[in-house]
Chain A
């Protein structure tokens, strides 16, 4: 089980997406997943070993690291990627349900089970809202946990068993900050894409509904 599983999952979703949805999948692959695996993971690899405090007191470093990094940036990033990709599965399940129903009744119930209309449209819109919501939740979590998107090079720690206020130094803070900003930028881009897709679909189908009603009235 690895990121390849998520990649295969998202490729399956691609089939039932709109144009904007496909751009979203491409951005998640190239700028989030690939950057995470190829570059970002290695930066945070030895973060605990390289976290150094100006003290020889055993346990002080451990306690200070745990206090300043309750959940590591890289783990939050991985969770965000997984959570944000999962709502798309709702669409895949709904299409599978439609195809199953057609098989069960042995007749063609839908013009095209993969076309976004009726119930599938609602599922698609819900998945978009969930995706956007989760992105925002994770961005807020990052902001709250780490007091903004900055990573300081020095933090002052005075938790027991540290005898006094000690200076603790974080490794590669600039590089981590650059990739954190990259993460935030791609998240915001994905939020914008999701909101545009949402507005596009709502607009398209309200026009369709309005025209249908207009035609019926004329008849």
Chain B
């Protein structure tokens, strides 16, 4: 069980996301999870071993380390990534529920069901409308909240995003104020700023996706109100064709990027 399993789970949601959602997922996996696993974990690997205090008093180092790092950066990022990925599961569950209902309709031999076999139901891509729109939008909203909360927690716990070289500690049993030196402070600062920057990009992508969905929702509503007198079928078919073309383009782009990352 590792980040690869998360990739498999979220990859399924990818099919039903908007284009912005697919970009967000790519950014999440390449610039956050991959960087965390391949690089950041090594930088923080020796954090307590190489945290050195200018005293031989046993226990002083432990206590000072615990005082300055209540929870390590790397663990906080791991938790942030897990919490931020979880809302997408809501969408996955909703899609699975819809598929289950369609399969039940198909098995009952309902004439409303337009599918020829179960394979088609399994491969079907659901449009983001109706109740799925609400689930999708709430998932983006929760993602935004979690990102913001974690960024604030980071800023609050570490007084900014810089890792100082030297920390002064006078917690018991340290005899006096002792100087404690953090290992690789510059490298840690660089990675911290990188991760914060990518989090901000993800927040912007989520906000853009939210605006896009809301705009689409209101446009559809006004169009429905306007089209109630005209023929609805002709315009819907053209819309569907354009959507299919957009999906093909974004799917091929997505496959190229995901294939490269895996």
B89 interface residue (CB < 8 Å to A): yes
A216 interface residue (CB < 8 Å to B): no
Across the interface, A52 reaches (CB within 8 A) one of B62, B69, B85, namely: B62
Q: What's the Cα separation between A55 and B74 when bound, in Å?
A: 32
**Contact residues in B for A37 (Cβ distance below 8 Å):** 1-2
Across the interface, A172 reaches (CB within 8 A) one of B2, B49, B66, namely: B66
Residue pair B75, A43 in contact (C-beta under 8 Å): yes
Which of A26-34, A117-125, A139-147, A200-208 touches B? A26-34
Residue pair A39, B93 in contact (C-beta under 8 Å): no
Most buried by B among A22, A172, A174: A172
Residue pair B79, A30 in contact (C-beta under 8 Å): no
Return the chain A residue nearest B89 by Cβ: A26
Residue pair B82, A34 in contact (C-beta under 8 Å): yes
Across the interface, B71 reaches (CB within 8 A) one of A30, A171, A174, namely: A174
Residue pair B66, A153 in contact (C-beta under 8 Å): yes
CB contact list, A171-199 vs B, under 8 A: 171-175, 178-179
Contact (A6, B62) CB under 8 Å given A35-B82, A46-B49, A54-B173: no
A170 interface residue (CB < 8 Å to B): yes
Residue pair A169, B58 in contact (C-beta under 8 Å): yes
Residue pair A54, B62 in contact (C-beta under 8 Å): no
Residue pair B89, A50 in contact (C-beta under 8 Å): no
Q: What's the Cα separation between A2 and B6 when bound, in Å?
A: 16
Q: How far is the CB of A38 from chain B (nearest CB, A)?
A: 5
Q: How far is the CB of A159 from chain B (nearest CB, A)?
A: 17
CB contact list, A11-64 vs B, under 8 A: 19, 22-23, 26, 29-31, 33-35, 37-39, 42-43, 46, 50, 52-55
B86 interface residue (CB < 8 Å to A): yes
Return the chain A residue nearest B97 by Cβ: A19
Q: What's the Cα separation between A130 and B46 when bound, in Å?
A: 41
B78 interface residue (CB < 8 Å to A): yes
A4 interface residue (CB < 8 Å to B): yes
Residue pair B93, A26 in contact (C-beta under 8 Å): yes
Q: What's the Cα separation between A19 and B101 when bound, in Å?
A: 13
A3 interface residue (CB < 8 Å to B): yes
A101 interface residue (CB < 8 Å to B): no
**Contact residues in B for A30 (Cβ distance below 8 Å):** 6, 82, 85-86, 89
Residue pair B48, A50 in contact (C-beta under 8 Å): yes
Q: How far is the CB of A163 from chain B (nearest CB, A)?
A: 15
Q: What's the Cα separation between A15 and B41 when bound, in Å?
A: 35
Across the interface, B82 reaches (CB within 8 A) one of A2, A38, A170, A179, namely: A38
Residue pair A7, B1 in contact (C-beta under 8 Å): yes
Contact (A175, B71) CB under 8 Å given A4-B5, A52-B62, A167-B59: yes
Contact (A3, B1) CB under 8 Å given A46-B49, A52-B62: yes
**Contact residues in B for A169 (Cβ distance below 8 Å):** 58-59, 62-63, 173
Residue pair A33, B1 in contact (C-beta under 8 Å): yes
Q: What's the Cα separation between A170 and B48 when bound, in Å?
A: 12
B130 interface residue (CB < 8 Å to A): no
Return the chain A residue nearest B4 by Cβ: A4
**Contact residues in B for A46 (Cβ distance below 8 Å):** 48-49
**Contact residues in A for B74 (Cβ distance below 8 Å):** 39, 42
Q: How far is the CB of A128 from chain B (nearest CB, A)?
A: 20
A82 interface residue (CB < 8 Å to B): no
Q: What's the Cα separation between A46 and B48 when bound, in Å?
A: 10
In the complex, besides A2-B1, A42-B41, 13 extra interface pairs with C-beta distance below 8 angstroms are A29-B1, A34-B6, A34-B82, A39-B74, A42-B75, A52-B62, A167-B59, A167-B173, A169-B62, A170-B62, A172-B48, A175-B71, A175-B72
Chain A to chain B contacts (Cβ below 8 Å), 26 pairs: A3-B2, A4-B2, A7-B5, A29-B1, A30-B82, A30-B89, A31-B82, A34-B2, A35-B78, A35-B79, A39-B78, A46-B49, A54-B58, A54-B59, A54-B173, A154-B59, A167-B59, A169-B59, A169-B63, A171-B62, A171-B65, A172-B69, A175-B72, A178-B70, A178-B71, A179-B75
